[in-house]
Structure 1
């Protein structure tokens, strides 16, 4: 009986991830998640107390947190706790040894270094793609998530990557606006190959492209865009 309850909670969590990713927080209704999970609205309330609690459950799911020990029905712990779980997951997957080494004083990064950094980004985004898709759709509705996404993630790494590109070109100083933009565009190359490519329709798929090929081409393009922007 307990196993059945655990499976049902996982099904509800998956349905919540799907609905919040597709529609955002405001548009998603409890009835939408119940319908997607194949349960009645009454059954849904046996597992969560509110839409806010349901969103927290979705965050737990995409962040790989265990659900079997949760006290049910799950109550809303507050947005601060929900954001902290996501931030902890970011810290777990954001491993940047090549980037950190390239930023160190005296380091002399080159094209291969940039490609390695692109590979680190690729692996991180591919691993965390469901969590990122969910956050991308909901961040504007939750200021705390928007701050985590824009300041704590995108702009910070963008500027670090631009700085390494400048070093790879044998130049010093702070990256200018054009190079920071190039770093943002280079990140998008990796993001498409690591994440968004996997959601393409059959008509848009690239024949013969496998995971290894996508990663290799994306990381090489990442390095090329950055070096071109430096004039190297």
Structure 2
């Protein structure tokens, strides 16, 4: 009996802790937060474990190495399906994960059409700006993670930074230039400067404002409308007659929802 008990104890020690339901998702979410905050090189596995509330050794039940944690972080930030708990440690396949994460979810078809001189009545400053703002709001976790890691991880740099992100900026710049050429937005400023300045302001409001230590007061509806009106004004596009600042908070929200 003693020999049998000792063998069982040795086997249990060799096996170590077992995967627990839900823990893979917690580790993936923790990896996304840590890599976004610290970058890839300066984020040891122990930091991800601490963020997830588990022992460092436990992480390796779910991810073979830090590259696998990066794979999981991107999947978590993009809202992609994670492997099932108990399937064994994740083997990284960064190229496939990036291809899935950067698919139609980050497309801007109206801006692409406007850049090509197509799109008809859909090509208005308001419509293009709204597409940008809504995408950045919806995909903030993924964009912030990829922006942070683009300079460190060659696969992310090639697929996202020098690929999708730079193409989106080029398309938006081309769309602004076409609108300036037809007099819809101001023609007296450089289109590339206008496009980048407007995009950076919108990016802060859409993605960084919610995590700021002291964000401006107001709900998301008011933040969106304020940002879009500021961006339209910067481009020199026609402005609505109703002033949001002149009305009380309830009236401002009502005006926004009514499209005034």
- Structure 1 and Structure 2 fold alike (TM over 0.5): yes
Over 3 Å counting, the alpha-carbon distance change for 1:62 and 1:109 in structure 2 is closer
Confirm or deny: 8 A CA contact 1:24 1:137 kept in the other structure: yes
TM alignment of 1:2-151, pairs within 5 A: 5-69=20-84, 71-77=87-93, 79-88=94-103, 91-97=104-110, 100=113, 103-105=116-118, 107=120, 113-151=124-162
Structure ID, larger Rg: 2
Report how many aligned residue pairs link the two structures: 215
TM alignment of 1:169-188, pairs within 5 A: 169-171=180-182, 178-188=190-200
Residues 31-65 of structure 1: per-residue CA shift (max 9 Å, x gap) = 11111111112211111111111111111111111
Query: Using a 3 Å threshold, how does the CA distance of structure 1 residues 188 and 160 change in structure 2: closer, same or farther?
Result: same
Distance 2:51 2:119 in 1: 55
Compute the TM-score of the two structures, normalised by the length of structure 2: 0.73
Task: Give the equivalent residue in structure 1 for 2:240.
Answer: none
Higher relative contact order (CA 8 A, sep 6+): 1
Q: List gaps (5 residues or longer) in structure 2.
A: 1-18, 238-260
**Where is the helix percentage greater, Structure 1 or Structure 2?**
1
Change (3 A) 1:178 1:169: closer
Other-structure match for 2:231:
222
CA distance in 1, matches of 2:118, 2:129: 21
Contact conserved, 1:108 with 1:168, CA < 8 A, in 2?
no
Displacement of 1:139 in angstroms is 0.9
Asked if structure 2 preserves the Cα contact closer than 8 Å seen for 1:98 and 1:117, the reply is yes
Where structure 1 has 5 or more consecutive residues not aligned to the other structure, the ranges are: none
Tell me whether 122-131 or 5-14 shows the greater mean CA deviation: 5-14
**Which residue of 203, 215, 218 corresponds with 1:205?**
215
Structure 1 residues 153, 181: CA separation in 2 closer, same or farther (over 3 Å shift)? Answer: farther
Contact 2:36 2:149 in 1 (8 A): yes
The two structures, once aligned, show a CA RMSD in angstroms of: 2.8
Segment of structure 1 superposing worse, 18-27 or 66-75: 66-75
The TM-score, its normalising length taken from structure 1, stands at: 0.81
Q: Secondary structure at the match of 1:126?
A: helix
Distance in 1 (alpha carbons) for counterparts of 2:235 and 2:131: 16
CA-CA distance at 1:109 after TM superposition: 7.2
Q: Secondary structure at the match of 1:195?
A: helix
| Alpha-carbon displacement from aligned partner over 1:106-136 (angstroms, at most 9, x marks no partner) | 84677xx111111111110111101111111
Whether contact under 8 Å (2:108, 2:168) holds in the other structure is no
